[in-house]
Structures are given as structure tokens and as C-alpha cells.
Structure 1
Amino acid sequence: MVDLSQYLPILMFLGVALVLSSAFVFLPMAVSRLTGTYKPSVEKLSEYECGFPAFEDSRAQFDVRFYLVAILFIIFDLEAAFLFPWAVSVFDLGWTAWISMMIFIGELALGLVYAWKKGALDWE
């Protein structure tokens, strides 16, 4: 026979997480409705990010170059995230760590050259 009482702490944790996450989502909405701060007006519903109404539909497709630049940014951002901890401990890790990081940076540089040659970084 399986003892299901071992799962009780997990179920309690999930229950508390569900209650707290629901409270954090729905409680502010309920408080704003009850206190009267929710009063939509033309000014509150207007565009605020750029200061003027959008020219096109907000669901319009972007050019693929935006996504390519975003992907390249993420790749080199992750490189920096790997490079800083490595730089702190490179002397303790030895030559193997140094060589492996140089291979990693070389692969990234090769990818950057490839993207550059393909025109992914060209902007019109």
C-alpha cells in the first residue's frame, strides 16, 4: 500500500501558492473597483507610450530583421553571462577552462561573421 501522506506538504505548498497568486492578481482589481479608482475616461484610455495614435493595426507584422537583431542580442547577452563568472575563476580552473572558453568565443565570433555576411545586421 502506498503512503500518500508524504505528498501532503507538496499539496499544501501548491494550495498556498495558488491562493497567493490568485490574491496578487485579483485583489488589486477588486480594490480598485471598490475604491472608485477605476473610472475609464478618454484620457486614461488614450495612447501613452509614444504620445500619438498608432498609424496601423497593433497586430501588424514586423520585419524579420527586428527578430534577427533581438536573437543576436540574446546570444551575446548570454555570452556575457557566461564570460563574467569564467573570468573570475579562470586561474583556478586551469588551461582546460581557458581553451574551452576560447573555442566558445570563437564559435560566437564565427556566428557573428556569418550573420554579418548574410546581411542580418544591415539596416535600411
Structure 2
Amino acid sequence: MFSIQSSMMIIFILLIMMITILNLTSKKTFYDKEKNSPFECGFDPKTHSRIPFSLHFFLIAIIFLIFDVEIALILPMVMNMSSSQMLIYTSNFFIIILISGLYHEWHQGALKWLK
């Protein structure tokens, strides 16, 4: 019984020594706290969370996601372009819808970076 207690005590002392050596020799300083804090879309999450959010940033992100998914759908169509006449009509119709959506977004002003 004494052996288990003494080995537990030795392990605990070694653990405390290793933690203190690690804290003393680490290069982490107080000034690294800002670098490790999360950064969410241009505002500090540790402050008031209901500050006005730029809706333009959100619209650009949604437009990027929509066009990114459409590009992922266009790439397989290019590979199978010669296989069927119906596929060519379908892909042309899809590209026309894509271009008309881009034209609509452009005329609505959603693609302007500066306002």
C-alpha cells in the first residue's frame, strides 16, 4: 500500500515540476492573447454581439456560394459534352440561367465593392 502511495506522490511531484518548467520556458506572452482570440467577420466576439453587421459582406458570401456550386455542376457537363444532343441543350440552358443571374446581380448593385 505504501508503494502505491509513494509512486503516486512521485508522479504528482514530477507532473508539477514539468508544468512549471513548461510555463517558465514557453514563449507565450501576454501579448499573444490577441492573436489567439477568435476573429468573426470583422468584429470582436468578446464585445457587444449586436453591433451593426455589413449586409454587403453577407450578400457577397452568398453569391460566391451560389456561383461556386454552379461551377461544380458545370465541370462534369464539359466532360460529357459530346455524348448526347439533349445534354448540350440542357447545359446551354443552365449556362443561360447562370449568366442571367449574374446580369441581374450586377444591375441590382450586389457586385459593387465600394458603396
Q: TM-score range by the shorter chain?
A: 0.5 to 0.7
Provide the rounded CA distance (Å) in 2 between the counterparts of 1:107 and 1:113. 10
Number of corresponding residues: 84
Rg comparison, structure with higher value? 2
> Is residue 64 of structure 2 the alignment partner of residue 98 of structure 1?
no
Alpha-carbon displacement from aligned partner over 1:42-100 (angstroms, at most 9, x marks no partner) = 13422368xxxxx96433442111111111111111121111111112212x1111111
Of 35, 58, 61, the match for 1:67: 58
Provide the rounded CA distance (Å) in 2 between the counterparts of 1:43 and 1:109. 49
> Is residue 80 of structure 2 the alignment partner of residue 89 of structure 1?
yes
RCO comparison, higher one (Cα < 8 Å, 6+): 1
Of 92, 96, 99, the match for 1:109: 99
What is the TM-score with the length of structure 1 in the denominator? Answer: 0.55
Counterpart of 2:85 in structure 1: which amino acid?
W
Structure 1: 5+ residue stretches without partners: 1-34, 50-54
How does 1:14-25 map onto structure 2 within 5 Å? none
- Match in the other structure for 1:42: 30
Structure 2: 5+ residue stretches without partners: 1-17
What is the TM-score with the length of structure 2 in the denominator? Answer: 0.59
- Quick one: structure 1 residues 69 and 106, their matched pair in 2 at CA, closer, same or farther if it must change by over 3 Å? same
Q: Over aligned residues, Cα RMSD in angstroms?
A: 2.9
Provide the rounded CA distance (Å) in 1 between the counterparts of 2:86 and 2:76. 15
Provide the rounded CA distance (Å) in 1 between the counterparts of 2:87 and 2:96. 14
Provide the rounded CA distance (Å) in 2 between the counterparts of 1:95 and 1:66. 41
* SS of alignment partner, residue 82 of structure 2: helix
What percentage of residue pairs aligned between the two structures are identical? 27
Provide the rounded CA distance (Å) in 1 between the counterparts of 2:71 and 2:43. 37
